Structure 1
């Protein structure tokens, strides 16, 4: 059986799912900023932006869904262990 360090106890566990969801949220936020910049460029050029704005809305909805999933995964994680780590020794 492999050693476990920190939260990663087994492949495909909740902690790995949480890490994935958090990375995906950050990636999507970067994409949203890029999309907003493209919308501004289109507006300056006088090009209609309705389809770009619809895409932005879908992206924002996806981020909301991912945030809800992240919050659910965080609630399912066991609380961190409390107590002394070094077995009561005072250094």
Structure 2
């Protein structure tokens, strides 16, 4: 399903963002310029934002579950 794929991609990207932040900290400690790494991090975060927006759009398009009904169809 498309929605599951997007959710998995968001989770994978979030893991990568954590690694990228760790790399940036290492570069900073070593005194190495981090502009390129920070630009990559920004692109990754923008991609996650776009995926989250797409996920939310797909969730809104799903048919709503029938709330308040039990298997017999009675409402409690």
Q: TM-score, normalised by structure 2?
A: 0.90
Alpha-carbon offset, residue 39 of structure 1: 0.2
Greater than 2 Å deviation, 4+ residue runs: none
* Ranges in structure 2 where 5+ consecutive residues have no aligned partner: none
Question: 1 or 2, which has the higher helix percentage?
Answer: 2
Q: In angstroms, what is the RMSD of aligned CA positions? A: 1.3
- Of structures 1 and 2, the larger Rg is shown by 1
Which residues of structure 1 form unaligned runs of 5+? 1-15
Count of residues in correspondence between the two structures:
73
Is 1:40 aligned to 2:25, yes or no? Answer: yes
TM-score computed with the length of structure 1 as normaliser? 0.76
Whole-angstrom CA distance in 2 between matches of 1:64 and 1:49: 22
Find 1:84's aligned residue among 57, 70, 73. 70
